[in-house]
Chains A and B, each alone.
Chain A
């Protein structure tokens, strides 16, 4: 009971979050919260097998699938707050409210009866009882469902397949293209240095330094550049080290004694 009353508000709030959050990734996280809470509730309802399956399959596989596709498709897309279809929000809220009130009041009241409990059904353990039903009464459904899964996998492969329209570029083509870029655009033909080469740090956000000390912008991932989180590769660290080597430094990472 306590489990229920602890988790129920949490689940409702998270579900509402699914409605209201602007970024899709946040919505996915809300859903994950709901699913895990559900798993716990299954456990409370004498369904340990489902508890495990819920976490493994639903939260672990399906939600991850969601997040992968989210990454592929546009994690940055933000839903505009303004509703494009006139009156849609009102309709949704009104029908939703009506529906919710109707079903909760009416159905929830009328359908309940005495709880029998699953002790007899789970006498040999929950998986055993489930297996008995699954491979007994519902074996045909089980077979069809497996066929369904295979079909779904095939379907996904077909849908996501992209036919190659141009021939695959070989290494020779890439090399030729690199030379052409150097000739026409002046782009350096060699590999760009990785972050931090010849710099004081080799963190991902520290650009590499050329022999003359200038920073190489191409060494930093474009997304970090876009976020404006590039550190200055030509740090004052050099002066600090020099000072340290000269023995002047008291361990104070300041320049010229300034605090």
Chain B
């Protein structure tokens, strides 16, 4: 059966491409075909996953080789896919959330005339993301990597008539490209050092430490590879320093933000780090870099989330921060890999849920995104309120929800590794609670601040059913960790956590975390239960922190100063040099030749007398020469 795992990718891909080619004829039913294709992938993925659960622990990695992709001398790459514990989880997450979002989009994009195309792009995205997670070779992974980048570009810029959307899509692609450079260099380095780019060959297997090619290479190779792969991951997962595209990507339709920029594509970076556990286990420096990146991003994302009034941008800041947590966990080594993946899955549920909830709010509020214009919506849109609330509880780590378990474990592991890392993660949790509470207060509570003649109403069933499903998952997924399912399940892939001493009992840790979150909630409620101005105060009237948060901690300005302006200067200089220097040289040669010929033209006056003068001068020279010869 696993020989057919390529169908998981092929069906959505064929559906997507087919819908694009079929054209306007299929406008009426194109969305249904796409949803069916996505559902097929989910169902088939579930079947394969269940078959894996039935198998023995050592036998849970099934690799299929479709064909030999590249066979050029020493370089040999197979188009092969591996369905194992880790990729199985991702397949379920991607196809499950993906299918729910397909259903949601039937309603959300009902009035858009290019809906068929939207669904085709969504299918292409699913296919590319599955290629990424199922790949058994880094080059095949890169194929999926680029594919999701393309799908993201197409989907962010879906409303292509809007210049802001087009610019945001371009920005996302370009910043991702910077990360892709790291990825490409890593693959090339792998080939140069090991002669192979197969994931299994490079990393070895966790159950058999030291079997990978990376272990026999030097520590510097592992560090180099680790850092390069981290660069790629930063681009895809919007980690600092390549985070500037994520908030702009909110220009795309809300289902896109939910699927790609919350649940799936942005987690590809974390997947990459966890999949390359062999490389990161071999290099202390690379792991430290991952931890630093994760920590900085989780704090920066939280900072931004506190200051944004656009609900989608606030959620994007939150995504950035949560992925920071996942990166932090992944950087902790075998102690954190499993928790990173667990948090990834739970985050996929509650963040997708909240984004779809935001979409529902926007649908009801006539596409208004500014939370300052919301208020008192819990009565008008009850289902959205409840499901959004479930997601909120999960993200702040309310005891019992999925988020409680996943985040707790990460903070514990962080403290076990280093006090300061743990402290940073703890503060991040507090700030997360604060800004999410702010969001809830501004949106659902308080007085009505609606402007214009909006009549908020609940969204149709096709939109609320997926909300309910995801809301339920946000709470129930905690069961996965209580039963210790995830760490055991993933152990053959990523290794076991080993013992870590915390210094304090686990229940005390949990209490501290809960109290920190509670204080964040309290601060949020206290600050935002009063009147909130409908128009945001000017930049000069707010504190430095608010100002910096609004400007996304000046990330864009930094990019501009460090990269964009010097490049513009360089290009301007090159243009000038080409025009003046190179062209000057070429035309200069031509001009000098012209001048020389003009100069040489002067003797040709046409006057007999000037020619006679030349004769006479020549005669004089001859006489002098004769004299010289005879006298010498």
Cβ-based interface call for B72 (8 A): no
| Residues A102 and B623 in contact, CB atoms below 8 Å apart | yes
| Residues A92 and B613 in contact, CB atoms below 8 Å apart | yes
A-B pairs with CB below 8 Å: how many? 32
Instruction: Evaluate whether A110 and B613 lie within 8 angstroms (CB atoms) in the complex, with A85-B605, A98-B620, A102-B623 already known.
Output: no
Q: Which partner residue on chain B sits nearest A102 by CB separation?
A: B623
B 590-617 to A, binary, CB cutoff 8 A, 1 in contact else 0 = 0000000000000001010110010011
Instruction: Evaluate whether A88 and B620 lie within 8 angstroms (CB atoms) in the complex, with A102-B627, A106-B627, A110-B630 already known.
Output: no
| Residues A99 and B605 in contact, CB atoms below 8 Å apart | no
Q: Looking at the complex, which one of B610, B616, B631 makes contact with A99 (CB distance below 8 Å)?
A: B616
B 121-141 to A, binary, CB cutoff 8 A, 1 in contact else 0 = 000000000000000000000
Q: How far is the CA of A150 from the CA of B617 in the complex (A)?
A: 35
| Residues A102 and B624 in contact, CB atoms below 8 Å apart | yes
Q: Looking at the complex, which one of B607, B619, B623 makes contact with A85 (CB distance below 8 Å)?
A: B607
Cβ-based interface call for A96 (8 A): yes
A147 to chain B, nearest CB (A): 28
| Contact-residue size bin, chain A (C-beta under 8 Å from the other chain) | 10 to 19
| Residues A99 and B613 in contact, CB atoms below 8 Å apart | no
Cβ-based interface call for A95 (8 A): yes
| Residues B609 and A85 in contact, CB atoms below 8 Å apart | yes
Interface residues of A, dominant DSSP: helix
Instruction: Evaluate whether A91 and B630 lie within 8 angstroms (CB atoms) in the complex, with A98-B620, A99-B619 already known.
Output: no
Q: Which partner residue on chain B sits nearest A83 by CB separation?
A: B609
Cβ-based interface call for A183 (8 A): no
Q: How far is the CA of A92 from the CA of B607 in the complex (A)?
A: 14
| Residues A95 and B630 in contact, CB atoms below 8 Å apart | no
| Residues B630 and A99 in contact, CB atoms below 8 Å apart | no
| Residues B620 and A91 in contact, CB atoms below 8 Å apart | no
A34 to chain B, nearest CB (A): 20
Quick one: which of B83-134 are within 8 Å of A by CB? none
Instruction: Evaluate whether A95 and B616 lie within 8 angstroms (CB atoms) in the complex, with A85-B609, A88-B609 already known.
Output: yes
Quick one: which of B561-612 are within 8 Å of A by CB? 605, 607, 609-610
A160 to chain B, nearest CB (A): 22
Instruction: Evaluate whether A88 and B613 lie within 8 angstroms (CB atoms) in the complex, with A99-B623, A102-B623 already known.
Output: yes
A199 to chain B, nearest CB (A): 51
Q: Which partner residue on chain B sits nearest A98 by CB separation?
A: B620
Q: Which partner residue on chain A sits nearest B627 by CB separation?
A: A106
Cβ-based interface call for A44 (8 A): no
B91 to chain A, nearest CB (A): 93
Q: Which partner residue on chain A sits nearest B617 by CB separation?
A: A95
Set of chain B residues within 8 Å of A103, measured between Cβ atoms: 623
Q: How far is the CA of A99 from the CA of B619 in the complex (A)?
A: 8
Set of chain A residues within 8 Å of B631, measured between Cβ atoms: 110
| Residues A95 and B613 in contact, CB atoms below 8 Å apart | yes
Quick one: which of A58-117 are within 8 Å of B by CB? 85, 88, 91-92, 95-96, 98-99, 102-103, 106-107, 110
| Residues B620 and A85 in contact, CB atoms below 8 Å apart | no
Q: Looking at the complex, which one of A88, A98, A102, A106 makes contact with B610 (CB distance below 8 Å)?
A: A88
Set of chain A residues within 8 Å of B620, measured between Cβ atoms: 95, 98-99, 102
Set of chain A residues within 8 Å of B624, measured between Cβ atoms: 102
B476 to chain A, nearest CB (A): 105
Q: How far is the CA of A92 from the CA of B617 in the complex (A)?
A: 9
Q: How far is the CA of A66 from the CA of B617 in the complex (A)?
A: 28
Set of chain A residues within 8 Å of B605, measured between Cβ atoms: 85
Q: Which partner residue on chain A sits nearest B607 by CB separation?
A: A85
Quick one: which of A99-153 are within 8 Å of B by CB? 99, 102-103, 106-107, 110
A190 to chain B, nearest CB (A): 51
Max chain A Cβ within 10 angstroms of own Cβ: one of B620, B624, B631: B620
Q: How far is the CA of A63 from the CA of B574 in the complex (A)?
A: 76
Quick one: which of B213-259 are within 8 Å of A by CB? none
Q: How far is the CA of A210 from the CA of B508 in the complex (A)?
A: 157
Q: Which partner residue on chain B sits nearest A88 by CB separation?
A: B609
Q: How far is the CA of A91 from the CA of B630 in the complex (A)?
A: 27
Q: How far is the CA of A91 from the CA of B620 in the complex (A)?
A: 13
Set of chain B residues within 8 Å of A102, measured between Cβ atoms: 620, 623-624, 627
Q: Which partner residue on chain B sits nearest A100 by CB separation?
A: B620
Set of chain B residues within 8 Å of A85, measured between Cβ atoms: 605, 607, 609-610
Q: How far is the CA of A88 from the CA of B631 in the complex (A)?
A: 32
Q: How far is the CA of A107 from the CA of B616 in the complex (A)?
A: 17
A247 to chain B, nearest CB (A): 72
A 185-207 to B, binary, CB cutoff 8 A, 1 in contact else 0 = 00000000000000000000000
B 17-54 to A, binary, CB cutoff 8 A, 1 in contact else 0 = 00000000000000000000000000000000000000
Q: How far is the CA of A95 from the CA of B607 in the complex (A)?
A: 18
Q: How far is the CA of A91 from the CA of B613 in the complex (A)?
A: 7
Set of chain B residues within 8 Å of A91, measured between Cβ atoms: 613, 617
Q: Which partner residue on chain B sits nearest A110 by CB separation?
A: B630
Q: How far is the CA of A155 from the CA of B619 in the complex (A)?
A: 30
Quick one: which of A161-203 are within 8 Å of B by CB? none
B436 to chain A, nearest CB (A): 93
A100 to chain B, nearest CB (A): 10
Q: Which partner residue on chain A sits nearest B605 by CB separation?
A: A85
Q: How far is the CA of A95 from the CA of B630 in the complex (A)?
A: 22
Set of chain B residues within 8 Å of A95, measured between Cβ atoms: 613, 616-617, 620
A108 to chain B, nearest CB (A): 12
A111 to chain B, nearest CB (A): 10
Set of chain A residues within 8 Å of B627, measured between Cβ atoms: 102, 106-107
Set of chain B residues within 8 Å of A106, measured between Cβ atoms: 623, 627
Q: Which partner residue on chain A sits nearest B612 by CB separation?
A: A92
B621 to chain A, nearest CB (A): 10
Q: Which partner residue on chain A sits nearest B615 by CB separation?
A: A95
Set of chain A residues within 8 Å of B607, measured between Cβ atoms: 85
B469 to chain A, nearest CB (A): 100
Q: How far is the CA of A95 from the CA of B627 in the complex (A)?
A: 17
A197 to chain B, nearest CB (A): 51
B318 to chain A, nearest CB (A): 87
Set of chain B residues within 8 Å of A88, measured between Cβ atoms: 609-610, 613
A 33-63 to B, binary, CB cutoff 8 A, 1 in contact else 0 = 0000000000000000000000000000000
A53 to chain B, nearest CB (A): 28
Q: How far is the CA of A103 from the CA of B620 in the complex (A)?
A: 9
Q: Which partner residue on chain B sits nearest A92 by CB separation?
A: B613
Q: How far is the CA of A85 from the CA of B610 in the complex (A)?
A: 8
B599 to chain A, nearest CB (A): 16
A103 to chain B, nearest CB (A): 6
Q: Which partner residue on chain A sits nearest B613 by CB separation?
A: A91
Set of chain A residues within 8 Å of B623, measured between Cβ atoms: 99, 102-103, 106-107
Set of chain A residues within 8 Å of B609, measured between Cβ atoms: 85, 88
Set of chain B residues within 8 Å of A96, measured between Cβ atoms: 616
Q: How far is the CA of A110 from the CA of B626 in the complex (A)?
A: 12
A115 to chain B, nearest CB (A): 21
B271 to chain A, nearest CB (A): 86
Q: Which residues of B contact A (CB under 8 A)?
A: 605, 607, 609-610, 613, 616-617, 619-620, 623-624, 627, 630-631
Interface CB pairs A-B, < 8 A, 19: A85-B605, A85-B609, A88-B613, A91-B613, A91-B617, A92-B613, A95-B613, A95-B617, A96-B616, A98-B620, A99-B620, A99-B623, A102-B623, A102-B624, A102-B627, A106-B627, A107-B627, A110-B630, A110-B631
Closest 4 A/B residue pairs (Cβ): A99-B620, A91-B613, A95-B616, A106-B627
Q: Which residues of A contact B (CB under 8 A)?
A: 85, 88, 91-92, 95-96, 98-99, 102-103, 106-107, 110
Give me 19 other A-B pairs in contact (C-beta within 8 A), A88-B610, A110-B631 excluded.
Answer: A85-B605, A85-B607, A85-B609, A85-B610, A88-B609, A91-B613, A91-B617, A95-B616, A95-B617, A95-B620, A98-B620, A99-B619, A99-B620, A99-B623, A102-B620, A102-B623, A103-B623, A106-B627, A107-B627
